[in-house]
Amino acid sequence: MNQLALIAKTQSLIASGDIVGAESALVELADAEGDQALMVVLAQLPPKDILAVIREYDNSRESLINLLVTPEQFARAVVIEKHYKDLTHTHLRGMLNSIIFRDGADPAEFMHAIGNLEGGAEALADYFAEKRSRIEAFARSGTFDTAEDDGEILTDSALLASAYIKPRVEQDEVADQDWMELAWILRYQCADLFIEMLLVLRAKARAFDAGLVEEDEAEADDDKVDTRDTDRGTATPAARESDEESAI
């Protein structure tokens, strides 16, 4: 099967909700023609289709697609993940961890690619949403221990002033290939993005406290994708993401 035919087949399978079938078709290409051929095809797939495949991560096996997707391709997929309306952000955290911490990857390179796109800081804020108090503690004290922090929120200027201080903990002390290590990488290798992400995280928290988030979610119910279906690979918000794709 030539590459154009495979792209059409892959997109058709994704549109029908057969994510497993789409991934299998891509893997078959790599088996037959090598990883480079697969990378050529991935470069031609729209971000929404790459996202549909990589967000269905499975910790029990290694995905060839996750191993080969580039930082730029991944970043374009990450910033449109919000269209799935997965309020727990489980898939977002899973695919971030599985790809940026893959063997041989440079997590900071992925972070810079995400930070270069509109919506990148927002996606990272969603990733850290459940750890906000510990991220605030880390920003203030350099550790994730909230007991060691006095709870005071750094002002924007104080946050900027503290961005480049020497780490209190080394990366290998928080090398969990999860949110702690990613927060460490952001603060000490991508300081500007860490600050931007934290400011967005604060804004989201204020909106939630003010009840604005619930109102926005209610307005979005009509086009919300049921993630119980996407977890099984039977639904994607492909049509809704087509506009976002063209903008990217």
For residue 62, what pLDDT band results from cuts at 50, 70 and 90? confident
pLDDT digits (tens, 9 = 90+) for 2-50: 888 999 999 999 999 999 999 999 999 999 999 999 999 999 999 999 9
Q: How many CA atoms lie less than 13 Å away from 47 in the CB half-sphere?
A: 23
CA distances from 82 to 63, 87, 145, 180, 242 (A): 22, 9, 30, 22, 14
Work out the average pLDDT over 114-132: 97
Q: How far is CA 227 from the centre of its chain?
A: 16
- Measured distance CA(80)–CA(89) in Å, rounded: 13
Work out the average pLDDT over 120-148: 91
Element (H, E) at 111: helix 107-115
Domain ranges of the chain: 70-247
Closest to 175 (Cα-Cα) out of 101, 103, 111: 101
Highest mean pLDDT out of 157-161, 204-208, 213-217? 204-208
Q: Residue 151's pLDDT is what?
A: 61
- Measured distance CA(178)–CA(114) in Å, rounded: 17
Q: How far is CA 78 from the centre of its chain?
A: 4
Per cent of the chain over pLDDT 70 is 82
- Measured distance CA(16)–CA(240) in Å, rounded: 14
For residue 216, what pLDDT band results from cuts at 50, 70 and 90? very low
- pLDDT tops 70 at residue 188: yes
Highest mean pLDDT out of 118-127, 162-171, 215-224? 118-127
Work out the average pLDDT over 51-61: 84
Among 6-20, 46-60, 233-247, whose mean pLDDT is lowest? 233-247
Closest to 122 (Cα-Cα) out of 225, 56, 199: 199
Q: Give the amino acid at 26.
A: L
Using alpha carbons only, what angle is made at residue 54 by residues 104 and 5, rounded to the nearest 5 degrees? 105
Q: How far is CA 139 from the centre of its chain?
A: 21
Q: Which residue has the higher pLDDT, 102 or 216?
A: 102
- Measured distance CA(116)–CA(218) in Å, rounded: 30
